[in-house]
Structure 1
Amino acid sequence: MRLSLLILLSLQLLNPIISLSPDGLSLLALKSAIDPSSDHSTFSDWKEEDENPCQWSGVSCMNVSGFLYPRVVGIALSGKNLTGYIPSELGTLIFLRRLNLHGNNFHGSIPVLLFKAISLHSVFLYGNNLTGEFPVSICKLPRLQNLDLSMNGFSGKIGEELGKCTQLQRLILAGNKFSGEISEGVLSKLENLVQLDLSSNGFTGTIPEDLGELKSLSEVTLNLSYNHFSGNIPRSLGKLPVSVNLDLRNNNLSGEIPQSGYFSNQGPTAFLNNPLLCGFPLQKPCKNSAQNSLGGSRNSKKGLKPSVIILISVADAAGVALIGLIIIYIYWKKKDSNTCSCTGKTKLGGEKSMKICSICFCPCINGFLSNESEDIDMDPEKGDGERRGGGEGGLVAIDKGFSFELDELLRASAYVLGKSGLGIVYKVVLGNGVPVAVRRLGEGGEQRYKEFTAEIQAIGRVKHPNIVRLRAYYWAQDEKLLISDFISNGNLANALHGRNGQPTTSLSWSARLRIAKGAAHGLAYLHECSPRKFVHGDVKPSNILIDGEYHPSVSDFGLNRLISITGSDPASSSGFIGGAFPYVKPVQHERTNNYRAPEARLLDGRPTQKWDVYSFGVVLLELLTGKSPDYSSPTTSSEIEVSDLVRWVRKGFKEENPLSDMVDQLLLQEIHVKKEVLAMFHVALSCTEVDPETRPRMKTVSENLDRIGA
């Protein structure tokens, strides 16, 4: 190790001769630490002859005053299947802020010299094969805020040194082999902590009493599940903020669950699989021999025994449940548009796939949706489904149960629903009275027909109650159309603000919560269960449609990709087949969209699921505050900017402003939902973190919303 540092120092002294900057030389040590068996395409542009590493894949830089060359501030090489070790030379990157190597096969321990990089504030090493004890030297980093070492092989005890990581906001150690007791006075020193996950380890002893003093915990989960904690649940945990999701499952806890403060409104999920726990909300009363024996003697004389009464009640409940299941089964069998295919595990790929899709909301599998519903024959060589109209200019039905002819579409009256840079959307009422939505994609792209139909095939397989269904499409050289379900009550943007800035109706809290949960279900399905693990890329209220009962449907996913394939210009066509649809010029220039994630405004890369999470968080804030995010000109600096609405809400919470100052005035009369409103605020704020790695997955967002009001 000393020899490698000496060589590196010597190379830095020879800098006038060697063109690459010292930071670049340090990064080459990482490239050298990767096993030859790994795919080295990641490093194909890491070249010694470059002046600096700022154009290398996964490397970000910034100009620092007093230096002639830009300094490395970020390394992001996650999910590259890299095998090797973490070299100590990375510690010489004194301006390195973010180190993201998660989802690889790095092995060995974390080198102590890595923590010489004193600017580190985020270290993401989860999902590797790292071993050794907790790196106590990491707490010497003065700016460390985010540390995720989960899903590795770390072991040993968590000592008092952890208490020196006073700036930590997120500590995630789940899925390791840590063991032993956690001493009092260690975790309580982490006064800035908003997320703590120690699940799936081997911790023993009692839960520290002072854990309830962490008033900063407010965002995601205090997770101590799947350990060997024993003894009573500390009553001090009742001081936790109501927005915390406590998880104590699968431990050896005993005694009565406290009934004060935080615990008074909790469900049973957090306490499951602790055989010796009793009391509300578990269906296991604590033993009270005096009261129970007196009650039993009275009942034995005056009527049926309690055990008999319980058996009768259970039998009645089972009968009602059975009838309900039969009704639900008949309903969903008849509801063609939202049919779930739950006939076996082979389609989903076994039990693991079912678990992955467990958030997808359908009554088939524990109430959730399969990602396969009908077989769709869309082989381009066979004509891509059922083609009507003949020739290339044919109407192709994706859903075999959705039948209409091309002539019928041409004869129908068309009404403009909306227009944008992505084209015009019409409402068309077919001859049988069924309304559909028709989107014009314009001209062009005939040479990429097979690629277009392959994308349509993937979109057509997405069938979920909270996602707008694509029913058919029309392809011709001079026109492309998408035909989907028509949702009757407009979109969320109009419901909140109206077409002229004044809402036509007042959305109640229950309606807003229903919309938030349903939209989250749909997006989580796209991310986790859809055939291609879709990214929506343009989540905003105008793309969340609602029906008369305020059930939401996410629309327009995959649209940008289709337009890219066709190379269409929605404004270029003079009208659909001789003017059957009126021509309306789409909006060509839109203001900067403040629903987009901060990194999406700086980088011209492919959208990610974390972009969707941020956008959805802004939508949640809009539902809560009734305020639309302001539009501003795109940033031209390297500084990451966030939406004005996000900044305003964060400032309000930091300054401890009254909730009534931030929440939509139309909701103030519903005072009884204050706890639910606060919980949704915290979900929204976790979604709108500037750092994408600290945002939750959409699956977690959906689960957290489902707990609100449950």
Structure 2
Amino acid sequence: MARKRILLSTRSTVIVLLVIIFLHFTSLSAAESEADVLIKFKDSLKNNGALSNWDNRKPPCNGDHENWVGIFCEEGFVWGLQLQNMGLSGPIDLDSLAKLTHLRTMSFMYNNFDGPLPDLALLTGLKTVYLSHNKFSGEIPPETFAGMAGLKKLHLANNKFSGQIPTSLPDLPKLMELMLDNNEFEGEIPQFPPDRIKRFNVSHNKLVGEIPFAFSNFSASVFDGNADLCGAPLKSCTTPNKLSAGTIVPVSILVAATLVALVVVVVILHRRKQAPQGPEGAAAASASVTAPADKKALLELDKMEQGRAAPAATSRAVTPPSAPPEKTHQSKKSEPNVKITFLKEDRDKFDMSDLLRASAEVLGSGVFGSTYKAALGDGQQMVVKRFKHMNNVNREEFHEHMRRLGRLSHPNLLPIVGFYYRKEEKLLVADFVENGSLAVQLHGNRSRGRPCPNWATRLKIIKGVAKGLLYLCNELPSLTAPNGHLKSSNVLLDRSYNAVLTDYGLVPVVNQEHAQEHMICYKSPEYKQSGRITKKTDVWTLGILILEVLTGRFPSNFLQQGRSNDTDMAAWVESVIKDEASNVEVFDVNMERAKNCESEMMKLLKIGLECCQADIDSRPDIKEALEKIQEVKEEAS
């Protein structure tokens, strides 16, 4: 009997081991099959050069780390594709993508896909679909979205879709965003359940009829460009009945009486305004004119916490008194304490109320919003940056992207300590860096008569910037431009003048139209020429930064919005160094130089020119650029 039990126990153990081995090899084959699926999908696309690192020799995912560009990973599986602005075209092979069982989000925006909408119902697990800004056309069959019970967001704007809005959309139980603007949809808007859709736009189509009740509280602008739509929030669909003569007379009398009363009220108010003020009135007027503005910065944060629009801050030093803020119409006691989401577990925690009590200073205002320095009671000095152009990303996506950035750790990156999410505005919290920005050291010091960084310091800064860029490229391979906004004001300097990058990795969460207007990666030659950025765009921004650091000249084209083609710094530098007869000094005359450093300075200058070549193929990648920069010495040997 005992022998029989041992045999049964042994047999059970063997079965368990076999199951474990089977599951292990199943997971391995799944990872391998994902690579095969994606390679097949890539091969079906045209102009797929942006996907050049999709290679079977390494899996697309390594845990939560993405090895391939445009891929989002979770627990070793591909859960998202973000192939935006890559110049892709051709058919979208959804039959292949349907084999990616963990795929939940898909974005092919700002490409050149055309023809009818692919059969999205093949991907029943999708939660978000972004196909805006392509060239899709034709009618979408009514039943196209049947069975996509998990779909939350559908963006089809700026295409050429026609016919009626599919009637299968209102049946999707989780659909929250539907963007169909700038197409050629016609007919009536289907009836949707009330309070389900949170974001909606059908402007500039050919829709007719009465707007469903579910959308009656939306802004009228989301229905612009549809001349035959009516109902709230637009004009009423019914024409008022003509008034009878018996009704017109009393109504006319009532209107006339109302107008007379309004005139009397205006006259009385005008006389009161002109009356001389007593002592109390004069004092009140004086107080309103001379009221100090020293609480503006933190009042802005306070208003943000309360959900009100905040004015632009203008004060330089902000030190709120110990007394509580002025009372508002909204009771502060009834408001919950707003918590900041921390990304670093080893940090002392604080919340919005701590920031509001802190003494603060406005550091500046840029294209994203204002930046404040807050000195907390425990001695911590934090920088709080407001972002006003991230309202197209939802809470879940923003939290996920911030967690991804929060996992980054490198000596040349300023870590994001925490963040606060609100639909209209976001706050990012980081440590204060003592020596300010490289832009201030290069340009501000000169204007104030202070010493500028010497050659050795500038070389050290450039080496640090390049190391930070390489780290970002390795850790964020799914981002086309892992930094995206490299400029001298986003390079901070610590006590030892080590370079620390800030405002990196934000391209995916900044509103696309604002990013294209202001972010540095969109000032590159490739974006001006083809409307797309590449993996070497950050290398171009590094090249421009090198030229700025060495010449002391600010790249004036960065001040221009959109695709302006202002004076090209690289072209100016090349013209100076090629003209041997020119007596123009290419290097910053305010830069203190070591002996025998001219050849090394020229070596770095030429690396900068190589990095910002207009021809992408002529540029080095970031790894090669760093290797060349590392070879530059303070003095020639």
Q: Which has the larger radius of gyration?
A: 2
TM-score range, shorter chain: 0.3 to 0.5
Structure 2 length-normalised TM: 0.45
TM-score in terms of structure 1 length = 0.40
